[in-house]
Amino acid sequence: MTEPIKEESQKEEKKKTKIENPFGDIFRGFKELVEPLKEAVITEKKSKTHVVDSDMIGITKDKAKELTYRIYNVYKKNHGMLAT
């Protein structure tokens, strides 16, 4: 008579156990590592040299696009393809 009761209680215990996300602790730990770093990083205003550097980067990208197009166009002409 006690055996059926034990089986039922074991089934109920199995149902009660909650399956947790195994990666949840990893994300929480990562958050704990990143929080102090956010406070340590100080955002500075852009200085004049940074603005000049960003302008130079933009000019350099434009020149690289032009040069790449020219090289591709010459390649197409040399191989008998239609070129603009």
Give a yes or no: residue 83 inside a domain: no
Residues 6+ apart with CB under 8 A from 73: 83, 84
Per-residue pLDDT of the chain (84 residues; tens, 9 = 90+): 555 566 666 666 655 556 666 666 666 777 777 777 776 675 656 666 777 788 888 899 999 999 999 999 999 999 998 877
Structural domain total, the chain: 1
The answer to whether position 70 is within a domain reads yes
Structure tokens at 25: 């602790």
Residue ranges making up the domain that contains 12? 2-78
Structural domain contains residue 9 = yes
